[in-house]
Amino acid sequence: MGRAPCCDKANVKRGPWSPEEDDILRAFVEAQGTGGNWIALPRKAGLKRCGKSCRLRWLNYLRPDIKHGGFTEDEDNIIITLYNNIGSRWSVIASHLPRRTDNDVKNYWNTKLKKKLSGKADLKKGSNNNGNATSNSIIHLSSVQFPGSIPKVEDYDYGISAGFGTDASPVSYQTGVSYQQDFHSQGLVSNPAVQFPPPGPMEVSEFNTSGNTSYSISSSQEVSSLSAASSSLALDNTTHASWSSYNGGRVQDDEFLIDFGSPYELLSGFGFQEQAHEAGLVNQI
C-alpha cells in the first residue's frame, strides 16, 4: 500500500489559479506567514487547494521578490556552467541567480538554452566565446565506440586525466596528471604554460554519462559556489565538445567539433596521449 495522498483530491480545486485565489493566498501569507505548515494553510485561508499547490504557487509566482523571464547573457553563462558541473540540480542553480526560481530556470533551460546549445553543435567549425573561429579546434577521432557506463569518480589530489575507450576496452582515467586546455588536430600541443586545472587539490564533482553518446567531466574547487575556479568538459552526441570554465567571475567557453578521422586523437587532442603512454595506460586506451 502506498502512502496516503497529501490531500483529498476529490475536494480540492486544480488547474490554473484565479486572481481571487492569488489575492487570498498572498494576503494570508503576508499577514500570518505559512505557520510552518503548508498542508493546513489552505483550510485556514479558506482556499480549496492542496497545500502543495499553495506552496508551489507562492514560491514560484506570488513571492514578492521574483523576477520572471528576460534572462541575461550572464545568467545564461552561469546556468550553462553550473549545469555542466552539477547537472539538473535546479534549486542549486537557481540559488546562484538572485530572484529566480528553480522552476523558471528549469523551464528556461528546457525551452531555450538546451536548443541554443544544440544549435551551436551544428557549427561546422569550432569557435571561442567571442564567436571567432579557432583554427586548431578540430579534433580527429574514428572507430571509437563510447562505452555505456563510466566508473564513478570521487576525489583526486591533482587534476584528472581521462580518455574515451573503444567498445572493447574501458575508459581510462588516472590521478596525478595535469592536462592541457590546448587541443590541436595534429596531436598534443606542447604548451606547459597552459594547464588546466591549475595545480592544487581539486574535487571532481561529476563524471557522468547520459545514454552512451554524451559524456561530461567536471572539476571544481568549490562545487556549491562560484567563488572559485570550476570547469567542465562535455561531449555532446559524439560530434561536438565544449569546454566551459569559470574563474574569478569570468565564464569562458570553448567549443569544437570532433572529426571522426583517425583513432584516439581525441586523447592527444586534449593532451592526454603522451601522458597516458608515460603512465603505461596506452593499452587501456
Partner DNA sequence: AAAGATGCCAACCGCAATTCC
Partner DNA sequence: GGGAATTGCGGTTGGCATCTT
Q: Which is nearer to DNA, 36 or 192 (CB)?
A: 36
CA 70 → CA 82, 83, 105, distances in Å? Answer: 19, 19, 11
Contacts 24+ apart (CB under 8 A), 163-170: 163/264, 163/266, 163/267, 163/272, 163/276, 163/281, 163/284, 163/285, 164/215, 164/235, 164/266, 164/267, 165/284, 165/285, 169/283, 169/284, 169/285, 170/284
99 binds DNA (CB under 7 A): no
Stretch that binds DNA, among 1-9, 141-149, 181-189, 265-273 (CB under 7 A): 1-9
Rg (CA), the chain: 24
Shortest CB 151 distance to DNA, Å:
21
39 binds DNA (CB under 7 A): yes
Stretch that binds DNA, among 25-33, 104-112, 148-156, 270-278 (CB under 7 A): 104-112
Query: By CB under 7 A, how many residues form the interface with DNA?
Result: 41
When binding is defined by CB under 7 A, the residue of 43, 48, 67, 68 that contacts DNA is 68
Q: According to CB under 7 A, which residues from 109 to 168 bind DNA?
A: 110-112, 115
Stretch that binds DNA, among 57-65, 131-139, 145-153, 198-206 (CB under 7 A): 57-65
Shortest CB 174 distance to DNA, Å:
30
Q: What is the DSSP letter of 55?
A: H
When binding is defined by CB under 7 A, the residue of 28, 45, 47, 53 that contacts DNA is 53
Could you give the CA distance from residue 144 to residue 153 in angstroms, rounded to a whole number?
22
Query: In 3D, which of 150, 155, 187, 185 has the Cα closest to residue 170?
Result: 150
- Where do contacts with DNA occur on this chain (CB under 7 A)? 2-4, 6, 9, 14-17, 34, 36-40, 50-53, 55-57, 60-61, 68-69, 88-92, 102-104, 106-108, 110-112, 115
